[in-house]
Each structure stands twice: as structure tokens, then as C-alpha cells.
Amino acid sequence: MARSIGMAADATVFRAVITITDRDGATSTKHEGPYGSIGAARARVSFWTNYLAVVDEETFEPTGESRASGYVEEGSVTWKRT
């Protein structure tokens, strides 16, 4: 998905690294970004953690566990004309 990030050429960018554990135990990692702020990347980690929260099958209440976890990485982008 294209993003419009207005920033200086040497600005710092952030991405969310999300690890998802399927119900069968298999794990996969996905990367989302780049984002212009650390808060935006952290919000994506929070989204996936909440979206894949484990719920009690009888009460449908969250157990405090999630099938997703993640962290934020910081980087810089080098632009070149192609």
C-alpha cells in the first residue's frame, strides 16, 4: 500500500515487525511500514496484538495472551532516481 510520508531525504523511518502464531503452532513474520513516526509503527504492533488476542472459549473474555507479538525497527532510506 502506498503511503505519503512528507519528510526530509535523510529522515528516520520506522516499521512494525509482527510475529503471528497460527492455531497449529506455525509462526510467520510480517513487516509493516515505513512510517514517519515511532507511534504509528507501535500502533500497528498494538493492533495485531489486540486483534489476535486469545479469548476464553466459554466466557469469550480475553485471557491476557495473544497469538501476535512484535516490536519496532528504526532505519533510514536512501533515495535514488531510477
User: Domain coordinates of the chain in residue numbers?
Assistant: 12-76
Closest CA to 29 of 14, 19, 39: 19
CA atoms within 13 A on the CB side of 16: 22
Closest CA to 35 of 81, 78, 73, 62: 73
By 3-state DSSP, what share of the chain in percent is helix, strand and coil, each rounded to 5? 15, 45, 40
pTM over 0.75: yes
Q: Is the pLDDT assigned to residue 5 strictly greater than 80?
A: no
DSSP-derived 3-state class of residue 47? helix
- pLDDT digit string (tens) for 18-43? 999 998 999 999 999 999 899 999 99
